[in-house]
């Protein structure tokens, strides 16, 4: 069965600092992996996804994530945080033809001036 663990429900960084949000997954077959972002009182927006091919995936707003099969991880990074990055971030996984996503609990990112 597929599952997702996001380490840290709340991450706080200074503006300009590295952003690292952690996501580990469990899957019995090669997974499809997603990161979504949610701004206050809004829906979730796709940030990036890994399906096949290159393991380093680039997304919107300067974010990227690397699929590491050996570590069953898909951590989200951004070299330099901006105030506008403050939001909640969700990691999600599905397997093969299973179209249903399993979501992590989310990580709230705070960016301090």
Quick one: tokens of 59?
Answer: 């997304």
Sole binder of another protein in the list 5, 7, 64, 103 (CB under 8 A): 103
Cα(14)–Cα(48) distance, integer angstroms: 23
**Distance in Å, CB of 16 to another protein, minimum:** 28
Q: Does 55 bind another protein (CB under 8 A)?
A: no
Closest approach, Cβ 36 to another protein, in A, equals 8
Distance in Å, CB of 110 to another protein, minimum? 14
Rg of the chain, C-alpha, whole Å: 13
φ/ψ of 65, rounded to 5, equals: -145, 150
Dist CA 12 CA 112 (whole Å)? 7
- Give the integer Cα–Cα distance in Å for 36 and 69: 20
* Binding status of residue 95 toward another protein by CB under 8 A: yes
Binding site for another protein (CB under 8 A): 9, 32, 34, 36, 41-46, 49, 51-52, 90, 92, 94-101, 103-106
């Amino acid at each position: 069965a597929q599952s997702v663990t996001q380490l840290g429900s709340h991450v706080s960084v200074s503006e300009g600092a590295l952003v690292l949000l952690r996501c580990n997954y469990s899957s019995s077959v090669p997974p499809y992996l997603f990161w979504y972002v949610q701004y206050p009182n809004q829906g979730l927006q796709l940030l990036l996804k890994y399906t096949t091919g290159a393991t380093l995936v680039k997304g919107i707003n300067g974010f990227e994530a690397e699929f590491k099969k050996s570590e069953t991880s898909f951590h989200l990074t951004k070299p330099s945080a901006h105030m506008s990055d403050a939001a909640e971030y969700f990691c999600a996984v599905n397997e093969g033809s299973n179209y249903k996503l399993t979501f992590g609990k989310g990580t709230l990112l705070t960016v301090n001036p």
